[in-house]
Amino acid sequence: TYPMKDMLVGVELIRNKQIILMILIMAVGIVITLIYAIKFSRPMRQLADELRKKNLWTGEKSHRNEIDFLTRAFESIEREEEQLYLTLKEKEQDSKKQILNNLISGEIDVAAKKEEIEKIFPYKLFMVAIITVDNRKNYLEKLDSRNRSYQRYLLFDIIMKAFPSGYMVQSLRYDGGSIAVIINMEGFDQIQSPKQIQGIFKEIQQAAEPIFKSTISIGVSGVHTGYESIQDGIVEAIEAVNKKIFTGHKSILLWEKSREEKNKEHVYYYPYENVEKIQNYLSICDLEGISKELDKIEQEILKISESLGPENVIMIFNQLAGSVIKFMMQRQINIGKVQGMKGNIYSLLSSAENVRELKIVLLGFCEKLVHYMIEQKQIKSNNQCYSQRILDYLNEHYDEDLLYEEVAEHIGISYSYLRRIVKEETGKSVNDYINKIRIEKMKDLLLTTDEPINQIAKEVGYHNMQSVTRYFRKFEGVTPKEFKTLNEL
């Protein structure tokens, strides 16, 4: 047996050896780890150095360690990559928009862009729709371009969702604020497809009304094969939507080939008899008669609408307006006073969108004219009454020292009104009219009496010879003395 002391010494020795061994193992491990760390971190340090040397990323200070530096660098690269992706998507959208705009305007090299076009429109059949907001003038006045743009994009989304599978639809802003919809179809059934498309656009109409706070009208083209014919579809869709001049607001109008053939035989229509009657009714200020004649014109236009072009309708109402203006000019009626400050009759007619609105605009113009003529007749009647009283008073009191304000008060009118009436009746100012009377009286007295000139001047109302001489020269071209001498010869 070993004494206890020897056993403890042995245990202590073993423990010390273990500690030394562990320290050695750890030291070796650290050295190996350091070697491998240096070895494996070298590419990282080289990458960081390259980034610093080439200034590929200067977002952080150079004293940061390589791991932190690279972490932040990669985060920045990731952000830039995302931004690049968004930019590319935006460029792609811009390119797509440009292709669509060029397709509807016919300014595209179809062969060069064939691959891109076929990505957008994979099918062979095409239709085009033109969407316009009704009461367009009112709509444009109420909303700025930013709000209108927002509403368009909402409508684009509605249109995209409205069409089922088998259709590829692209919408874009078209001329004059209208919207063009290019419909690319897998197939077309002559009976079912028009009904389906009309139903889809009916839903679009209903969904659009709360957005625009107004109704919309839609014209739809015929079916065409190939994207080369999209421009033809645009022409047909515009022709169709223009027919709302007959059908009114909230219309869905499908272009028909048979209608086009009828349109080739457009008749010329102008309501000569109605115009003559309107002129006569204007002469007697009969607004009811004018309204009835315009109703007849409206009914006749709608009756022959199939053979009457929209341009002819607009021309008819412009010519009707012209005949009313001619009536005014013949009677020397100031057009500006009748129209007021709300724009001329032609601009108001141009903003009307259907036959009924055209009729209402023209009737409103005639109504203003009739009211103006009635008012002028009343004024003329009053003027004639006042003018006789004014002239009688001036002829009776010409030799007195008249204060014109007191004369007006005596008659019961304002001084400005008195001046206007005298000017209209005599072509002279009040002062010139009084002096003309006095000079005429002087001439008579100079020829019939032997009274001195200064005495005659006092009798007719003059208090100094300078005034007598000035007004005598003004009206007769000679002095009173010269006048008397010339007439004594």
Q: Are residues 257 and 276 in the same domain?
A: no
**Residues 135, 239: one domain?**
yes
412 located within any domain: yes
Helix (H, G, I), strand (E, B) or coil at 96: helix
d(CA 47, CA 66) in angstroms, rounded, equals 9
Do 392 and 422 touch, CB atoms closer than 8 A? Answer: no
Q: Are residues 227 and 316 in the same domain?
A: no
Expressed as residue numbers, the domain containing 442 is 397-488
Q: Are residues 252 and 365 in the same domain?
A: no
Give SS3 for 127.
strand
Instruction: Name the residue among 268, 346, 340 with its Cα closest to residue 307.
Output: 268
Q: Answer whether residue 316 is part of any domain.
A: yes
The answer to whether residue 139 sits within a structural domain is yes
From first to last of its 489 residues, the chain has per-residue pLDDT tens of 456 667 777 777 888 888 888 888 888 888 888 777 777 666 666 666 666 665 555 554 544 565 666 666 667 767 767 766 655 555 556 667 777 888 887 776 666 577 888 888 899 999 999 999 998 888 888 888 888 888 988 999 999 999 999 999 999 988 877 899 999 999 999 889 989 999 999 999 999 999 998 999 999 999 999 888 888 999 999 999 999 999 989 999 998 865 445 555 556 788 889 999 999 999 999 999 999 999 999 999 998 887 888 888 999 999 999 999 999 988 888 888 887 756 688 888 888 889 999 999 999 999 999 999 988 888 777 767 788 888 889 999 988 888 889 888 888 888 888 898 888 888 899 999 999 999 999 999 988 888 999 999 999 999 889 999 999 999 999 999 899 888 875
Q: Is residue 284 part of a domain?
A: yes
Position 129 scores a pLDDT of 95
Shared domain for 330 and 227, answered yes or no, is no
Q: Are residues 469 and 371 in the same domain?
A: no
The reply to whether 135 and 243 lie within a common domain is yes
Name the pTM for this structure: 0.61
264-276: b (≥16 Cβ within 10 Å) or e: eeeeeeebeebbe
Burial 449-467 (b: 16+ CB within 10 A, else e): eeeebeebbeebbbeeeee
Q: Which residue(s) pair with 171 in the sheet?
A: 181
Query: Are 278 and 257 part of one and the same domain?
Result: no
Q: Do residue 205 and residue 237 come from a single domain?
A: yes
C-alpha closest to that of 254 among 155, 165, 183 = 183
From CA 368, how far away is CA 370, in angstroms rounded?
6
- For residues 226 and 163, membership in a common domain is answered with yes
Q: What is the pLDDT of residue 260?
A: 47
Domain final residue, candidates 318, 344, 375: 375
CATH number of the domain where residue 130 is located: 3.30.70.270
In a domain, 47, yes or no: no
23: in domain: no
* 207-232: burial string, b at 16+ Cβ within 10 Å, e else: bbeeebebbbbbbbbbbbeebebbbe
Domain boundary at 263, 287, 309, which?
263
Q: Where does a domain end: 263, 289, 321?
A: 263
Q: State the total domains in the chain.
A: 3
Same domain flag for 221 and 140: yes
- CATH number for the domain that contains residue 456: 1.10.10.60
Are 167 and 244 within one domain? yes
In a domain, 42, yes or no: no
**436 in a domain, yes or no?**
yes
